[in-house]
Each structure stands twice: as C-alpha cells, then as structure tokens.
Structure 1
Amino acid sequence: MSDNILEREEPRSLIERRTILKGAAWSVPIILATAAVPAHAASNVDVGAFTLNGTCGTLGLIGPGFLLQAGPTAPLPVGTVVTVTGTGVANIGVFSVSGGTASVVVLTNRSRQITLTSALPAGATIAFRTTLSISVAFTLSAVATLPEGYVATGAKSAGTVNSTLVLCSAS
C-alpha cells in the first residue's frame, strides 16, 4: 500500500456565528415595530356623515320612528345597529323596516335592536317605523352604532321622537 493517499478536506458549509447574530439584530426592531401597532388600527373605514333622525310620521297613515341615511360617499355596512328605547308607554310597538333590509329584535317591551342585514348604499335612506300612534304621549330615542373597524366623521348618530298627545317633535 502506498502512503501517497492525499487527504482532502471537505469545505465547511456551516454558517458563522457572526452571520446569525447580524440577522437576529436586524430582525428585532422589525418585530418590535410590528407588535406595537394594533391589527385593527390601519383597517378603520370612514363611512362619512350618515344621519339618524326621528320622524313623527303622518297621523293615521305612517307611524313615528327613525330615518337612517347613509352619507353621500360611502355605504353603511352590514352589522350597523340602531338601538331604540322608549319611555312613557308600556310597549313601544312593532317596528317595520322599509327602504332596505334589517332585522328587528325585541330586547324588552321598551327597547328594540335593529341591525342592517345588507349594506345601505351611499345616499340611501332606510326607515324604521313603529305601530305607536302619535296621539299617545311617549318619547323614543335611538342611537346608531357601527361595526368594529368603521368610523363616521361628521355623523349624526342619535335621534328622538317626542309625542305629547297633541304635538309631535322629532330630531
């Protein structure tokens, strides 16, 4: 046997420790910056100046209630909730919906929760009317709440209807 066998050294494929430390050092600020920003902060959609107004209706023809109108440039999203509460009567009646689609849930005899089940197009109006007569003394108050991830710059999100047996006022 010959002693002329050359020993060959295999090339190292190991990554140097410095390379790993450099990569880790650069990734720490990125991870910290990402963790500091809430996930929902960048996802708010502004639906603009929608309005919720009370309406007295027309005695004997159309019941009192509320008109919800989307702003001029953006629709109101599915899941927008209008909560109606009443005082002065034992029951605020049955609410109907026209001009859009929404579900009405009876929370108590004096409160209802109305939820949009389809978006209300920009500029469109949906009406929520009760079977109460304005010849009865009562007050109805309503507040609109947008789903998470939506804001409304310049919106009027509350309305009222006041009836005094003779007069009705709404805002």
Structure 2
Amino acid sequence: MEDTTSSPSRSVSRRALVKGAAWSVPVIAVAAATPLAAASTATNVGNFALNGTCGVLGLLGPGFTLTAGAAPLPTGTIINITGSGIANIGVFSVTGGTATVNVLSPASRQITLTAPLAAGATIDFRTTLSISVAFTLSATTTLPTGFVAGSGAKQTGGVSSTLVLCSAS
C-alpha cells in the first residue's frame, strides 16, 4: 500500500524575502557597531588646571603649577613650555611630584610626569629666570593615549614679564 498524502509545496514570495532582509539590516548594523563603541572609551582625568605663576622676587622663580582634578593625572602627561623675548628660559626645577625635564632648545622644555599626580595634588615647575627680565612663557599639557581631560580642564598657562610687572594666567 502506498501513502498518497502529500504536503503542499511552500514557497516564499519575493516580497516576504525583501521585507525580512530589510528588517535584518538595522539589527546587524547595531550589533556590529556595539563592540566598536565599547572599545573606544578613554579614562577621563577630570578638570585639572595648568596655571602660570610669577613667583616671588628673590625667592621663587616664575613658572607653572599643575593641579590634578578629581582624578589623578597619569604618568606620561607632558607639559611643553616655550619662551620668547629671551635667549634662554633657564633651568626648571620640579617640586611636589616626580617628573623629568628635557631641554629641547634654549627656548623650550618638555616636562613629563614619571609618576601619577594624585587627585587634588599640585606640582610646581619653576625656572631660574628673574621677573626683572622681559620674557613670555607659554605652557600646554598633553595627556597620554587613552586619557581625556574634563570639559572644564585648563590645559594651557602663561607668564609674561615686562621688566617691572609680571602677569600670569
């Protein structure tokens, strides 16, 4: 005896196929983009501040203070200092933290933090220049790869001396 029941053949219409494909594209795109977004996060070091300072005539030379915000500043943070109006910007000392000072030229120095600067802590960079000499110093901070500054961070500072007056920012 032979079974004569047959199941009806089922075919998918082109319209159903296109509709299914159209719905799958956004799902695939979102799934593919999610790992990239998750991998691109950087550590926010908060609102740190780099400020110029005139120093105190005869006691402290002019220079800069770097104060960490709510998070530590990482090892490898760089402060580039350039001077103008003078042939040599002097020797920079570091107090309140650990950093190396590299002489790039008579008018520029690169200071690199060799240890993290704790949250809320301040490190000073002072030059041997006297504020009784006319000069301008400018400094900029660069964070290592993988770190970003807070939206209110002050990443630049300046000192300007006019033989009589000194101003800092």
Per the shorter chain, which TM-score range?
Answer: 0.7 to 0.9
Letter in 1 for 2:87: A
C-alpha distance in structure 2 between counterparts of 1:165 and 1:77, whole Å = 37
Does residue 113 in structure 1 map to residue 110 in structure 2? Answer: yes
Q: Structure 1: state its 5+ residue gaps.
A: 1-28
Letter in 2 for 1:108: S
1:140 aligns with one of 137, 142, 151: 137
Cα 1:119/1:90, change in 2 over 3 Å: same
Q: By how many angstroms is 1:152 displaced?
A: 1.1
C-alpha distance in structure 2 between counterparts of 1:36 and 1:141, whole Å = 40
Q: Structure 2: state its 5+ residue gaps.
A: 1-27
Partner of 2:95: 98
Q: By how many angstroms is 1:38 displaced?
A: 6.9
1:82-132 C-alpha deviation (Å, 9 max, x unpaired): 000000000000000000000000001000000000000000000000000
In structure 2, the residue corresponding to 1:112 is in which secondary structure?
Answer: strand
In structure 2, the residue corresponding to 1:37 is in which secondary structure?
Answer: helix
| 8 Å Cα contact 1:40/1:149 also seen in 2 | no
In structure 2, the residue corresponding to 1:48 is in which secondary structure?
Answer: coil
C-alpha distance in structure 2 between counterparts of 1:52 and 1:114, whole Å = 13
1:80 aligns with one of 74, 77, 87: 77
| 8 Å Cα contact 1:63/1:131 also seen in 2 | yes
Letter in 1 for 2:82: T
C-alpha distance in structure 2 between counterparts of 1:38 and 1:93, whole Å = 46
Partner of 1:58: 56
Cα 1:91/1:45, change in 2 over 3 Å: same
| 8 Å Cα contact 1:96/1:128 also seen in 2 | yes
C-alpha distance in structure 1 between counterparts of 2:62 and 2:99, whole Å = 18
Letter in 2 for 1:69: T
Partner of 1:125: 122
Does residue 151 in structure 1 map to residue 148 in structure 2? Answer: yes
Q: By how many angstroms is 1:160 displaced?
A: 0.2
Cα 1:122/1:109, change in 2 over 3 Å: same
C-alpha distance in structure 2 between counterparts of 1:34 and 1:110, whole Å = 47
Partner of 2:158: 160
Alignment length, in residue pairs? Answer: 143
Normalising by the residue count of structure 2, what TM-score does the alignment of the two structures yield? 0.79
C-alpha distance in structure 1 between counterparts of 2:143 and 2:110, whole Å = 13
C-alpha distance in structure 1 between counterparts of 2:33 and 2:73, whole Å = 30
Normalising by the residue count of structure 1, what TM-score does the alignment of the two structures yield? 0.78
Partner of 2:15: none
